[in-house]
Amino acid sequence: MAERINSALNSASLNGLQLKNRLIKAGTFENRSPNGIPGASLTDFHAQFGRGGIAMTTIGYCAVENAGRLNANMLTMHEDIRSEITQLVQNIQKQDCKVAGQMGHCGAFSKNHTLKARPKGPSGGLNLLGFAEGMWFCDAMSLDDIDHMVDAYRDAAIFMKSVGFDALEIHFGHGYGLCQFLSPLTNHRKDNYGGSLENRLRLPLRVLAAVRAAVGDDFPILAKITMSEGRRGGLHYDDSLEICKALDAAGIDAIIPSNGTSTMNPMLMFRGDSILPALLKYERNRIMRFLLRLMGKKMFPALPFYDMYLLEQAKRIRAVVKCKLVYIGGATSGDNFTEILGAGFDFIQLGRTLLADPDLPQKLAVDPSYKSRCTHCNLCVGTIESPQGIHCPQFTDNSAT
Ligand SMILES: Cc1cc2nc3c(=O)[nH]c(=O)nc-3n(C[C@H](O)[C@H](O)[C@H](O)COP(=O)(O)O)c2cc1C
């Protein structure tokens, strides 16, 4: 057993970046940067994972421009926070931990009241996140808007490399901006950016090319995708094979196959207890609370959790790409890690497991049979809206982070 677990704790390289083991903290939006300014709370949050022994942590949802933020407490990658974000990255790196930044853009849905115009996505319609707050609609992006979005990713990538990030993770999944282009449910365009999958991939691939050109060939870029939206007419597992092949051919260094979307089917991403009680606990908007009570049970059904719940579908991707593959979804123990690496994955991202056990790698080194104490109650998901920022309400002492 000890030998098998050690393979997860062995070092490995990702496009020249040496990682001391195969375990990476997954991006979990922290809500620890009030008004978009990173400081001690965000630093301490990530430093605890570094002290706990993981090889790399991921700063969740770094918006590439203000219009890409879901709310005004998200980070935007721009000059105004150069000194704070440089400090943040350096302080986490002092824990012998590399730092990745997840590049995000919310596209058509936003409740960011600092926006001067409606949010924009591939097609106009309802602003699914903002309508309860009076931001009713979203507009369709023009061709100039599309060029602008590519430039925003390029500029953010240049900025992020310059402040010391070790790797960039582009978010192509979970229903956010680039995923809205990939999905036939949200992309109804009649031009070269809509219709066939080849067309729907056009903007995401332009973004990848721009980020690659910005950071150079020898800088690690990861892609997080959604394998299935779990909705009729949406992206399905077979589509994700084609998306991964295209990303691989375009020079991505690693793919993280996740699942579901934040707006339409988040439980596919998490599994476990319904996130509804947690959302109701922290939601303050009266209309949103009413809508959650009305539709929440249908939108967020409990889905039985089982270890490595995305493994079988993710293995199909292993068979069609040459790039590195990062497993995500319910990896909770050394035995899980052994099985995942044995199936040909190169790294493992951990979300809730590390929220409950920030020092999991150290625990495993001492006790190879240790299994995470995370119960998949999903209360951590609600803490995205809590004043203290995300944490595991069951097991972590939030005052320490
Ligand atoms: C509190 C919380 C916040 C999350 N925020 C993000 C995010 O900002 N970006 C992202 O890609 N995924 C986000 N996720 C999804 C996780 O990265 C991961 O895909 C999911 O939790 C499944 O992995 P796990 O079983 O290891 O937790 C979040 C998950 C949780 C629990």
Q: Choose one of 23, 25, 29 to mutate for the ligand 1 pocket test, by most ligand atoms within 8 angstroms of C-beta.
A: 29
Domains and CATH numbers, the chain: 2-400 (3.20.20.70)
CA of 124 to the centre of ligand 1 (A): 27
Give the nearest ligand 1 atom to 258 CA. 19
Residue 200 has pLDDT above 90, yes or no: yes
Residue 74 has pLDDT above 60, yes or no: yes
42 Cβ contact partners less than 8 Å away, ≥ 6 residues apart: 30, 32, 33, 59, 88, 389
Tens digit of each residue's pLDDT (9 = 90 or more) over 279-333: 898 888 888 888 889 888 888 888 999 999 999 999 999 999 999 999 999 999 9
From residue 286, alpha-carbon distances to 31, 115, 134 in Å are: 21, 22, 12
What is d(CA 397, CA 386) in angstroms, rounded to the nearest whole number?
14
119 Cβ contact partners less than 8 Å away, ≥ 6 residues apart: 67, 106, 107, 108, 109, 110, 112, 127, 130, 135, 138, 139
Residue 149 has pLDDT above 90, yes or no: yes
- Alpha carbon nearest to ligand 1 atom 11, residue: 27
CA angle 54, 58, 64 (to 5 degrees): 170
CA of 286 to the centre of ligand 1 (A): 26
Give the nearest ligand 1 atom to 30 CA. 3
Q: Classify the C-alpha dihedral 227-373-292-108 as positive or negative.
A: negative
Q: HSE-up of 46 (CA within 13 Å, CB side)? A: 37
| Two tokens, residue 33 | 């940067």
Tally of CB atoms within 10 A around 37: 13
Where helices occur in 21-142 by DSSP H, the ranges are 40-52, 82-93
Confidence of residue 9 (pLDDT cuts 50, 70, 90): confident
Tens digit of each residue's pLDDT (9 = 90 or more) over 234-262: 999 999 999 999 999 999 999 999 999 99
User: Mean per-residue pLDDT for 10-23?
Assistant: 96
User: Do 350 and 337 form a contact (C-beta atoms < 8 A)?
Assistant: no
Tally of CB atoms within 10 A around 357: 23
Q: Tell me, what's the pLDDT at 62?
A: 98
Would the CB of 32 count as within 6 Å of ligand 1? no
DSSP label at residue 170: E
User: Do 217 and 161 form a contact (C-beta atoms < 8 A)?
Assistant: no
DSSP label at residue 62: E
Confidence of residue 3 (pLDDT cuts 50, 70, 90): low
Q: Tell me, what's the pLDDT at 296?
A: 87
Given the structure tokens 């104490």, which residue do they identify?
Answer: 373
What is d(CA 129, CA 93) in angstroms, rounded to the nearest whole number?
35
Tens digit of each residue's pLDDT (9 = 90 or more) over 379-398: 999 999 888 999 999 998 65
Q: Kindly give the pairing relationship between strand 12-14 and strand 17-19.
A: antiparallel
Q: HSE-up of 240 (CA within 13 Å, CB side)? A: 29
Would the CB of 175 count as within 6 Å of ligand 1? no
What is d(CA 102, CA 181) in angstroms, rounded to the nearest whole number?
18
Residue 188 has pLDDT above 80, yes or no: yes
Helix then strand then coil, in percent of the chain rounded to 5, is: 40, 15, 45
Residue 368 has pLDDT above 90, yes or no: no
The identity of residue 251, as a single letter, is G
Single out the residue of 68, 65, 144 nearest to residue 109, CA to CA.
Answer: 68
6 Cβ contact partners less than 8 Å away, ≥ 6 residues apart: none
Quote the crossing angle between the two packed helices 40-52 and 82-93, to the nearest 10°: 20
Residue of 176, 193, 309, 327 with catalytic role: 176
Q: Tell me, what's the pLDDT at 287?
A: 85
Q: Choose one of 28, 30, 386, 401 to mutate for the ligand 1 pocket test, by most ligand atoms within 8 angstroms of C-beta.
A: 28
Give the nearest ligand 1 atom to 380 CA. 1
Confidence of residue 105 (pLDDT cuts 50, 70, 90): very high
| Two tokens, residue 157 | 């990538």
Active-site annotation holds for 309: no
User: Mean per-residue pLDDT for 334-361?
Assistant: 96
Confidence of residue 1 (pLDDT cuts 50, 70, 90): very low
CA of 192 to the centre of ligand 1 (A): 32
Q: Tell me, what's the pLDDT at 400?
A: 39
362 Cβ contact partners less than 8 Å away, ≥ 6 residues apart: 52, 53
Distance, CA of 285 to chain centre: 25
Q: Tell me, what's the pLDDT at 168?
A: 99
Would the CB of 384 count as within 6 Å of ligand 1? yes
Q: Tell me, what's the pLDDT at 177?
A: 97
User: Mean per-residue pLDDT for 191-210?
Assistant: 98
Residue 401 has pLDDT above 50, yes or no: no
- Alpha carbon nearest to ligand 1 atom 3, residue: 28
Average of per-residue pLDDT values in the chain: 94
Tens digit of each residue's pLDDT (9 = 90 or more) over 106-119: 999 998 888 889 99
What is d(CA 183, CA 258) in angstroms, rounded to the nearest whole number?
15
